[in-house]
């Protein structure tokens, strides 16, 4: 009897997880003209493309999606590279206090982002970074470093120390070791960390609505939040169709790098 508990639990939890997604899809494809104000469990009409068109125009999703793509790609890649250098320093380079340095970097991921909003807003306003792409690049990259560092440090710690010792005996510099030996060995973890950060930046809302307001700067989730405030104008099906549209890039990135992502999880577990 006990052997069935685990698979049954997994199935039940999976169904509970899929119910909101199912309702999102069903109510997103229902025509806004036929929407009665109550949740649809079965599609009564098909108006998905019209809903997407209205969401695209009302929220100006095109520039917003381009902004988020830039933020997620550039900030995610920069954060992963910085985290890789920090992980290399905390695992391979000689020195003391490596545990202290680990917590000094990783503790940044333990605080809620809401705690940073007020000081960040004041700082951005006083330095001219408010409502600029550069400001969002900086905050997203800085916020993504701690968790990426956690993943990459664990992976580099699993590498045999003989690799670094052999490289040093052959006369390799620390820079050569980092770029030619350790980075290639942790490529799956680099990809996994990038996926995590890409998805987080793409779905991030608080920094987007706090540190930007113009259409040429704000990320897609901030634009979608503005669309959600227009319920009386566009209707819930349009908002849900917009949510389905903006979720496509993150799903595509995950599916494209799925094998490396799974491989990295096996390494870090």
Q: What is the mean pLDDT of residues 147-158?
A: 90
Task: Judge if 216 and 149 occupy the same domain.
Answer: yes
Q: At what angle do helices 187-203 and 133-157 cross, to 10 degrees?
A: 150
The predicted pLDDT at position 107 comes to 80
Residues 6+ apart with CB under 8 A from 169: none
Least confident of 62-66, 119-123, 169-173: 169-173
Residue 114 above 60 pLDDT? yes
DSSP string, 178-242: IIIIIHHHTHHHHHHHHHHHHHHHHH--HHHHHH--STTT--HHHHHHHHHTTHHHH-HHHHHHH
Other beta carbons within 10 angstroms of residue 224's beta carbon come to: 21
Task: Judge if 79 and 8 occupy the same domain.
Answer: no
- Residue predicted with more confidence, 74 or 255: 74
- Residue predicted with more confidence, 69 or 233: 69
User: pLDDT-derived band of residue 80, with 50, 70 and 90 as boundaries?
Assistant: very high
Q: Which of 112-121, 141-150, 258-267 is most confident?
A: 141-150
Task: Judge if 8 and 119 occupy the same domain.
Answer: no
Other beta carbons within 10 angstroms of residue 21's beta carbon come to: 11
Task: Judge if 7 and 64 occupy the same domain.
Answer: no
Task: Judge if 31 and 55 occupy the same domain.
Answer: no
Which CA distances in Å does 178 have to 85, 97, 243?
A: 8, 20, 41
Other beta carbons within 10 angstroms of residue 46's beta carbon come to: 12
CATH of the domain at 78: 1.10.3720.10
d(CA 55, CA 224): 8
Other beta carbons within 10 angstroms of residue 14's beta carbon come to: 10
Task: Judge if 122 and 203 occupy the same domain.
Answer: yes
Task: Judge if 113 and 5 occupy the same domain.
Answer: no
pLDDT tens digits, 173-190 = 888 999 988 999 999 899
Task: Judge if 11 and 119 occupy the same domain.
Answer: no
The predicted pLDDT at position 266 comes to 56
Q: Which domain holds residue 210?
A: 49-268
User: pLDDT-derived band of residue 20, with 50, 70 and 90 as boundaries?
Assistant: confident
Q: What is the mean pLDDT of residues 156-165?
A: 86
Task: Judge if 6 and 132 occupy the same domain.
Answer: no
Task: Judge if 212 and 236 occupy the same domain.
Answer: yes
Task: Judge if 150 and 199 occupy the same domain.
Answer: yes
The DSSP symbol for 159 reads S
* Closest to 76 (Cα-Cα) out of 189, 164, 182, 202: 202
The predicted pLDDT at position 1 comes to 60
* Closest to 72 (Cα-Cα) out of 210, 244, 229, 246: 246
For the chain, the domain total comes to 2
Q: What is the mean pLDDT of residues 69-93?
A: 94
pTM (two decimals): 0.86
User: pLDDT-derived band of residue 261, with 50, 70 and 90 as boundaries?
Assistant: low
Residues 6+ apart with CB under 8 A from 78: 137, 141
Task: Judge if 42 and 102 occupy the same domain.
Answer: no
């Amino acid at each position: 009897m006990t052997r069935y508990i685990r698979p049954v639990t997994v199935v039940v939890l999976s169904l509970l997880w899929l119910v909101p997604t199912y309702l999102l899809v069903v109510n997103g494809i229902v025509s806004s003209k036929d929407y009665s104000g109550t949740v649809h469990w079965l599609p009564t009409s098909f108006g998905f493309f019209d809903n997407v068109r209205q969401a695209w125009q009302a929220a100006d999703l095109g520039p917003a999606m381009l902004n988020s793509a830039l933020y997620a790609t550039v900030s995610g890649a920069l954060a992963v590279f910085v985290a890789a250098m920090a992980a290399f320093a905390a695992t391979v380079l000689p020195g003391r206090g490596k545990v202290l340095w680990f917590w000094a970097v990783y503790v940044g991921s333990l605080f809620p982002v809401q705690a940073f909003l007020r000081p960040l807003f004041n700082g951005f306003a006083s330095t001219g970074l408010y409502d600029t792409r550069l400001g969002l690049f900086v905050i997203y990259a800085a916020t993504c470093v701690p968790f990426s560092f956690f993943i990459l440090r664990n992976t580099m710690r699993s590498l045999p120390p003989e690799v670094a010792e052999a490289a040093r005996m052959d006369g390799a510099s620390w820079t050569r070791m980092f770029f030619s030996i350790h980075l290639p060995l942790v490529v799956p973890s680099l990809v996994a960390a990038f996926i995590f950060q890409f998805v987080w930046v793409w779905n991030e809302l608080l920094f987007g609505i706090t540190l930007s307001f113009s259409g040429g700067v704000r990320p897609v989730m901030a634009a979608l939040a503005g669309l959600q405030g227009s319920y009386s104008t566009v209707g819930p099906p349009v908002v849900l169709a917009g949510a389905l549209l903006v979720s496509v890039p993150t799903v595509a990135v995950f599916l494209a790098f799925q094998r490396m992502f799974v491989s990295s999880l096996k390494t870090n577990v």
